A and B are shown apart, each in its own frame.
Chain A
Amino acid sequence: DAKTTQPPSMDCAEGRAANLPCNHSTISGNEYVYWYRQIHSQGPQYIIHGLKNNETNEMASLIITEDRKSSTLILPHATLRDTAVYYCIVRRTGFQKLVFGTGTRLLVSP
């Protein structure tokens, strides 16, 4: 699976959009981009995934660049409860396990 690079930490003001970048310059055509988060010591929580097109759901939006070498997770209106470690994972189809990196620690402040 392609390696991903994320900033170790980011800050965001409550109510503002949080934009979390992820670099996956070695991604190949059959690899999806997945985002998960882990709030404190809870189990990881799925957020969103995409292949080529931008995606949006009730939690977030995922913007994937045209060359697919990077992506951005957008939390449109961050709340204090969004404080967590966010993981960007690239994974091939046909392979089941997820390999977690170190992620981005997002701190949302009042």
Chain B
Amino acid sequence: NAGVMQNPRHLVRRRGQEARLRCSPMKGHSHVYWYRQLPEEGLKFMVYLQKENIIDESGMPKERFSAEFPKEGPSILRIQQVVRGDSAAYFCASSPRQTLSGANVLTFGAGSRLTVL
């Protein structure tokens, strides 16, 4: 089991360009979460998706950011017209369907580090 795979691991963009970050969940996992970590700051929840559905996007900035998790393929976090403040580490996590007990363990990827010049 390869775990949660994120790519690219490092991405450099100039202001105004688009950034696309991809996340392949663990085998058998149908839930994906995206988190952002600004330099020297904590992890902030962005969005939670199931296949073809956005369940909770309460942490997503209102503009320029979007996420999808299609029926086939990885989840994509898309940032349009990037600005320097978007420079951060973006972590993806996945989990299986909720267990009967209610406990739900998230497995995180290694992250994608976006640098905006």
Interface residues of A (CB under 8 A from B): 30, 32, 34, 38, 41-46, 49, 51, 91-94, 96-103
B117 interfacial by beta-carbon distance below 8 Å: no
Q: Which of B36-53 contact A (CB under 8 A)?
A: 42-45, 48
Pairwise interchain contact B95-A44, C-beta atoms closer than 8 A: no
Chain B hits for A45, CB < 8 A: 108
B110 interfacial by beta-carbon distance below 8 Å: yes
Pairwise interchain contact A46-B105, C-beta atoms closer than 8 A: yes
The count of A-to-B residue pairs whose CB atoms sit within 8 angstroms is 63
Cα-based distance from A42 to B56 in the complex (angstroms): 24
Stretch at the interface among B11-19, B63-71, B73-81, B96-104: B96-104
Chain A hits for B35, CB < 8 A: 100
